[in-house]
Amino acid sequence: METKLMKGNEALAEAAIQAGCDAYFGYPITPQSEVLEYLAKEMPKHNRIVLQAESEIASINMIYGAAGAGFRSMTSSSSPGISLMQEGISYIAGAELPCLIVNVNRAGPGLGTIQPGQGDYFQSVKGGGHGDYKLIVLAPSSVQEMADFVFIGFDLADKYRNPVLILSDGAIGQMMEKVTFGKFKPVKVDKPWATIGKPETRERNYITSLHIQPEKLEKSNQKLVAKYKTIQENEVRFEELNTDDAEYLIVAYGLCARICHKAINIAREKGIKVGLLRPITLFPYPSKRLAELAEKTKFMLTVEMNAGQMIEDVKLSVNGKVPVEFYGRMGGMIPNPEEIVEKLENLIQKSHAI
Amino acid sequence: MQSEEHLLVEEKIISTKGAGKTEVTDEILKQATTPIEGEKFVFDKPRCMDDEYEIVYEKPKTLVDVSMHYCPGCAHSLVHKLIMEVIDELGIQEETIGVAPVGCAVFAYDYMNIDMSEAAHGRATAVATGIKRLLPDKYVFTYQGDGDLAAIGTAETIHTINRGENIMIIFINNAVYGMTSGQMAPTTLPGMKTTTSPNGRDTSFYGFPIKVSELISQLPGAFYVTRQAVNNATAVRRARKAILNALRYQKLNKGTCFIEIIGNCPSNWKMTPIEASKFVDDSMIKAFPLGDVKVPKGEDLKNLQEKN
């Protein structure tokens, strides 16, 4: 085991090398350019491919080609760049290609700002591009997880032949923390479907998302739906804090979950019995656990750095059993623990008044 | 034993059809279909399969034996066949990966018996880059139309060639969007009527057709750039030679080989196949002159000759 002090983006890039990433294609954008910079320096040392493309559109299609040829491939970008990639991501999902996409989320809409945000939640978990598809979405909340989720992400991508998205943000990408490597070993998976040249011994392989006959496309859609159901059943990841005796529950992911962790400590000192559920996979979503927690909590508070996006999934999960409240900051502003506690206290007061 | 006279008649039909100059008259047809005294036709199998005939031409082995969806007189089926002939000739089925576009050739992988990838509209060269960078020893090619390569995929086209990716790009230029049924393309000729330029392409409004071969030949990454047609036998043979050259050059790792092929599109030009062939000669080739735009020189040429 090796421990280093690293930036989130660099830890992620180093993890990519260690996870056996064969190829990285990317385009510079703040706040994630360190990934491309790090890999441009390090990948050639390992005889891996790293290429700065002319655009995010080209990057994601290079991934499509490389992943289709059976190689572990990865790209990273930040919000506006991820928007540009949506077409390619839809094709990748349709063609069922395993790959890793990283979004170091900044605040939008439009050019927005380079400061962190969580405004890409909908885009990440509800499809993003055209057509019915899902990405497996992992939300790290520390530099350690920026690294760990690369290993987990690649393995999940290969296991399900599905694109995996790491949804980080500008703060986690830029912050420095200690990170330990050596926990994971890359898993090699056979890819008999890859386009590497057709030998005599098998039929030709082709990578496509085109099924011009509706009967065939519906079958393909149903196959995807069945896959997503299996993923929902088997791959839900979340973290709980102080939920055993919790009367109130905060739901937050990524950077917000870290801040809420601190907020919960402050609230607990004040005698407020509050817990935290941090979804790690945003798809598949920990709906079942939230429904269970709804049975024993008075209300839930969703904290996000957006106008309220994940709150919809929390509401769907609890299905009206408890009130679901929201606190959010936007535009690259980060909430501080005190304002979250204040919001919590106000909500408790209000619920008593009723 | 077939009579010599009969063979001559057949040849006459083939040659007049191929040249697209003389109409096939009723008299010629009658001659061709009437048995000569003392002889009878064999109807249970095609005459070309008679043992007494020598095989001079066969369907390429790597071309899948299915009927194609292309319109009669379309260039695509012919160019598909040429690529597969060359792959057979070089014996590289196992080493070749193709990338199909969005456009009429979107189903190319139904016909080409090689590993293939279907790309999003305009992104074929980016997809090919991804494949070739990971599999540098394989032969990789894209097959794209004018809308795909010269409109929506312009950035990918230029940057792929500028990086000198060692791939072959087959660019079918028929001056229209074929699959979406005949809209104006970046290569539509001035004054040419399409469904979105019903009064003819107005160059003051839409500019002039892009001469992609000339444009990209300026890039150092372009190793071999040529423009060919497939509207007559000589042109077909030249186009085939160009494809053969391009795949041979790919092994040199010297850059991108770009073959523009002026394609006939009778359906969207609203012409018969013969009229479309004539349109290629009379109009298309005038705007897009045939021939090599950039060829390997000096040391590169010497290496090639040694290799070949």
d(CA A148, CA A283): 17
Q: Measured between beta carbons, which residues in chain B are less than 8 angstroms from residue A54?
A: 155-156, 159
Question: Nearest CA to CA, how far is A73 from chain B (Å)?
Answer: 9
In chain A the domains, ranked by start, together with CATH numbers, are: 2-234 (3.40.50.970), 239-353 (3.40.50.920)
**A263 in Cβ contact with A337 (< 8 Å):** yes
Q: What is the pLDDT of residues A45-63, one digit of tens each?
A: 999 999 999 999 999 999 9
Can you give the residue ranges of every domain in chain B?
4-49, 75-307
Q: B97–A58: do the CB atoms touch at under 8 Å?
A: no
Q: Give the tokens for residue A108.
A: 């939008």
Q: Measured between beta carbons, which residues in chain B are less than 8 angstroms from residue A95?
A: 118
Give the one of B99, B115, B133 whose C-beta lies nearest to A204's C-beta. Answer: B115
Any A CB within 8 A of B141 CB: no
**B174 in Cβ contact with B134 (< 8 Å):** no
Instruction: Note down pLDDT in tens along chain B; length 308 residues.
Output: 333 443 444 444 444 444 544 566 777 667 666 666 665 555 566 666 667 777 888 899 999 999 999 999 999 999 999 999 999 999 999 999 999 999 999 999 999 999 999 999 999 999 999 999 999 999 999 999 999 999 999 999 999 999 999 999 999 999 999 999 999 999 999 999 999 999 999 999 999 999 999 999 999 999 999 999 999 999 999 999 999 999 999 999 999 999 999 999 999 999 999 999 999 999 999 999 999 999 998 777 776 666 55
Which of B90, B118, B143, B148 to mutate to test binding with chain A, by most A CBs within 10 Å of its CB?
Answer: B118
Any A CB within 8 A of B123 CB: yes
Q: A61–B156: do the CB atoms touch at under 8 Å?
A: yes
pLDDT at A187 (0 to 100)? 87
Q: Measured between beta carbons, which residues in chain A are less than 8 angstroms from residue B156?
A: 54, 57-58, 61
Q: Could you give the maximum distance between any two Cα atoms of chain A, in Å?
A: 77
Q: A91–B120: do the CB atoms touch at under 8 Å?
A: yes
Any A CB within 8 A of B155 CB: yes
Residue A353 has pLDDT above 80, yes or no: no
**A292 in Cβ contact with A319 (< 8 Å):** no
Smallest CA–CA distance from A207 into chain B, residue: B117
pLDDT at A108 (0 to 100)? 96
Q: How far is CA A182 from CA A100, A118, A142, A175, A192, in A?
A: 20, 30, 17, 21, 29
Q: Give the tokens for residue B297.
A: 């020189």
Question: Nearest CA to CA, how far is A206 from chain B (Å)?
Answer: 5
d(CA B261, CA B149): 13
d(CA A200, CA A181): 43
Architecture of domain B75-307: 3-Layer(aba) Sandwich (3.40)
Question: Nearest CA to CA, how far is A341 from chain B (Å)?
Answer: 48
Question: Phi and psi (nearest 5°) for A284?
Answer: -70, 145
Any A CB within 8 A of B251 CB: no
pTM (2 d.p.): 0.91
Q: A64–B155: do the CB atoms touch at under 8 Å?
A: no
